[in-house]
Chains A and B, each alone.
Chain A
Amino acid sequence: DAKTTQPTSMDCAEGRAANLPCNHSTISGNEYVYWYRQIHSQGPQYIIHGLKNNETNEMASLIITEDRKSSTLILPHATLRDTAVYYCIVSLTGANSKLTFGKGITLSVRP
């Protein structure tokens, strides 16, 4: 599986959009980009995934660049409950194979 690079941490104000970047320059054509988050002392939670096209669900939007070498997770209106570690993962067949987690990015939402 390709490796991902994320900043260590970032913060944003409550109610504002949080844009979390991820680099995956060695991604191959059939690898998906997955985002999970982990709130303190809980198991990881799936957020969203995509292959080439931008994706949106009730939690977030995923923007993947045309060359697929990077992506951005957007939380449109961050709340205090969005404070968590966010993991960007590139996986060959998604949940059908193991997920390789990095250290993720710690998002702190401030009041």
Chain B
Amino acid sequence: DTGVSQNPRHKITKRGQNVTFRCDPISEHNRLYWYRQTLGQGPEFLTYFQNEAQLEKSRLLSDRFSAERPKGSFSTLEIQRTEQGDSAMYLCASSYFRDNTEAFFGQGTRLTVV
């Protein structure tokens, strides 16, 4: 297993366009998290799944954002009608549902909205 994989690593898009990011978690992990990180700040929680169920969404996740995890495997994060303020690093993490286990993060997708 090569760890958490995120694609693409970089994305440049024009304002108003839709973008979709993919995260492939570690295979036996049933929890998957999305975070967003802007320059100089720590990652901020967006949402998380246990298997295919989306259990929590942050207030940061506006109506333009949607995340899915069909069949409890990979996940996608879509941003519709992108704005310049959406420019950030989008990080995915996965963990196994068990007390006190650590989360493993991917390398992130850097989004630039021009």
Contacts and interface: CB of A to CB of B under 8 A. Distances in A.
Check if A and B associate: yes
Interface of A: 32, 34, 42-46, 49, 85, 87, 93-96, 98-104
Nearest to A51: B100
Given A100-B45, A103-B41, A95 B105 contact: no
A96 B31 contact: yes
B42 A103 contact: yes
Chain B contact patch, size range: 20 to 34
Interface string B3-26: 010000000000000000000000
A87 B40 CA distance: 13
A43 B35 CA distance: 10
B42 A32 contact: no
A96 B99 contact: yes
Interface of B: 4, 31, 33, 35, 40-45, 48, 56, 58, 91, 93, 95, 97-108
Contact of A95 (B42, B44, B103, B108): B103
Given A43-B108, A44-B43, A103-B41, A98 B102 contact: no
Contact of B100 (A43, A44, A49): A49
A40 B84 CA distance: 23
A32 B99 CA distance: 11
Nearest to B48: A98
A59 B97 CA distance: 24
Contacts of A42: 107-108
